[in-house]
């Protein structure tokens, strides 16, 4: 039996969405996989830095990371990168990122000279992790 992990910050605003998906999957009787809901622990330091830790073992599991889109852009991007790194160091079978709203999505093309395509930069970062 395959194992699926839904990974979300229990303190974040996206927890309700992830919990709804989890509850829906638990009602399905003909599933050939087990599903669990796993917390992301965030440890804040006095100087503004923080550390991300996956609360439970995800080794060999199919992981769906539901990232909270309600944070300011810098914090949103940094937490996304750090969480993906923590997940990759935990040896999951597969990582899928669920972004209900993607920050920087308005900047998806080069509309003038000397500007970056920020949506592409975010996509590149996610695909590298």
Q: Which two tokens stand for residue 30?
A: 């003909």
Instruction: Residue 119: give the domain boundaries.
Output: 2-128
- pLDDT tens column, 2-11: 899 999 999 9
Q: What is the mean pLDDT of residues 103-126?
A: 75
pLDDT of residue 94: 94
Q: Are 98 and 53 in contact (CB under 8 A)?
A: no
Our count of domains for the chain comes to 1
Total-model pTM: 0.83
* Per-residue confidence band for 30, with pLDDT thresholds at 50, 70 and 90: confident
Sign of CA dihedral 79, 80, 85, 87: positive
Beginning with the edge strand found earlier in the chain, give each strand of the sheet holding 2-8 in spatial order: 50-54, 33-44, 2-8, 62-66, 94-98
pLDDT of residue 28: 83
Here the CATH number for the domain that contains residue 59 is 3.40.50.2020
């Amino acid at each position: 039996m395959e194992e699926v992990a839904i990974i979300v910050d229990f303190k974040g605003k996206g927890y309700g969405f992830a919990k709804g998906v989890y509850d829906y999957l638990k009602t399905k009787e003909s599933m050939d996989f087990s599903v669990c809901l796993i917390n992301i622990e965030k440890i804040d330091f006095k100087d503004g830095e923080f550390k991300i830790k996956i609360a439970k073992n995800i080794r060999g599991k199919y992981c769906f990371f539901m990232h909270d889109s309600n944070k300011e852009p810098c914090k949103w991007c940094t937490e996304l990168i750090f969480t993906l790194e923590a997940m990759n160091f935990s040896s999951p079978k597969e990582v899928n990122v669920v972004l209900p709203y993607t920050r920087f999505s308005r900047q998806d093309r080069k509309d003038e000279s000397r500007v970056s395509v920020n949506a592409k930069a975010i996509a590149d970062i996610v695909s590298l992790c």
